[in-house]
Amino acid sequence: MYSATTLPANLDSPNIEDKLREHLKQVKRTSFGSEYVTFRASRDEVAAMAESGLVNAFRRVVLDPVRGLVMLMAPSGRHEWVTGDIDRFVSCVATLQGVRIEQLRNTRWRREYEPKNTGNEADCSFYFGRKALDYVQAHARSEEEGDAYTFRVPADLVVEVGLTHEAKEKRLSYRDKGVVEFWQLNARPRKHRRSLVTVSFLDLQAARKPVAIEASLNLPEVTPAHVIRFMRLRSGKSLNHLEVYEAVRGLLEDESNALEIREDAAEYELEN
């Protein structure tokens, strides 16, 4: 069993803060316009950075002491809009399929033996079935028990919006933590302030490496094309929860368009 890292004396706060400020000068953008920085650090440095106010000011954080990966992101408005749609889509699908669900969007996923405050904050993450019920019961007993449950039990599904050059390493970080299913949404720029959005589903725990899958492992019959079709339906519309629910139900029940959904909805054009 691993134990939490004890920081060496030379990793003082000013030294870590100075390193962080240098890295924060190297800002990049994801395909959805979010700003981020990413870099490598030692296990002890990652653990020290987990206590920094600079790090925790970001709304999406990856602090993986095992892989030495640090990623700090400030999501764009478009990024958050797409993320909210995915949350609603997954929730409606689970309800329609009779699957219990618990949304854990802001959870920082880490294992029990990893240093405090490290981990991965996903754009969307979910428990389904018995895990969802057990988590709710644990959290009802105390916030500490709820947190401890997430340390022991990985998410069933993680969704990330906006492909970066570090996406492979990020996926492997979730794989290390035991996450099985991973959805990736990406946007490729086009002319006239528009982008093409693509969706892929991955099985992170496949034998040798993560592999693409045609349908969700947790939500039977749901494909990447269903996500694309939902985004098309939502485009330019302000829908309340009931209207979103009805849109998803119509999408899943429309057997006459099942072939079209699978073959023709490979991407979605989004206005920037």
Tokens of 121: 């904050």
According to the model, what pLDDT value does residue 194 have? Answer: 64
pLDDT value at residue 195 = 65
Higher-pLDDT residue of 191 and 24 is 24
pLDDT averaged over every residue in the chain: 86
Which helix (H) or strand (E) covers residue 1, if one does? none
Quote the pLDDT of residue 91: 96
For residue range 236-271, what is the model confidence (pLDDT) as tens digits? 788 888 999 999 999 998 754 544 444 444 555 555
pLDDT at 258: 47
**Helix ranges, the chain (H):** 13-23, 43-49, 53-56, 77-96, 129-141, 143-152, 167-176, 224-234, 241-253, 258-264
pLDDT for residue 87 = 95
Kindly indicate the confidence band of residue 2, based on its pLDDT and cuts at 50, 70 and 90: very low
CB 110 within 8 A of CB 46: no
What tokens appear for 161 in the block? 């919006």
State how far the Cα of 40 lies from the Cα of 66, in Å rounded to an integer.
Answer: 11
First to last CA, the chain: 48
In this prediction, residue 154 has a pLDDT band, given cuts at 50, 70 and 90, of very high
Query: How far is residue 150's CA from residue 112's CA, in Å, rounded to a whole number?
Result: 9
Residue 257 CA to residue 160 CA, distance in Å, equals 28
pLDDT of 168 reads 84
Query: How, if at all, do strands 157-161 and 181-190 pair?
Result: parallel
Q: What pLDDT score does 235 carry?
A: 79
Read off the pLDDT of each residue in 207-227 and give the average, rounded to a whole number: 93
Written as six digits, the tokens of 47 are: 């653990």
CB neighbour class for 205 (10 Å; exposed up to 12, middle 13-18, buried from 19): middle
Contact 185, 159 (CB under 8 A): yes
| Identity of the amino acid at 86 | I
Is 88 in contact with 148 (CB distance < 8 Å)? no
CA dihedral defined by 166, 187, 189, 31, rounded to 10 degrees? -40
What amino acid is encoded at 263 in this protein?
E
- Tell me the pLDDT tens digit for each residue of 220-231: 989 999 999 998
Give the model confidence (pLDDT) of 20-39 as tens digits: 899 989 999 887 889 999 99
- Reading the block at residue 270, the tokens are 């989004």
pLDDT digits (tens, 9 = 90+) for 77-118: 989 999 999 999 999 999 999 999 999 987 999 998 899 999
- The pTM for the full model equals 0.86
Is residue 103 within 8 Å of 87, Cβ to Cβ?
A: yes
In the numeric block, which tokens belong to residue 216? 């969700």
What is the crossing angle of helices 77-96 and 241-253, to 10°?
A: 60
CA pair distance 25, 37, nearest whole angstrom: 8
- Please tell me the predicted confidence (pLDDT) of residue 53: 87
pLDDT of 199 higher than 90 = yes
Burial of 202 (C-beta count, 10 Å sphere; 0-12/13-18/19+)? buried
150 is written with which tokens? 């997430």
Q: Give phi and psi for 119, each to the nearest 5.
A: 125, -175
d(CA 185, CA 51): 30
The pLDDT of residue 131 is above 80: yes
pLDDT of residue 32: 83
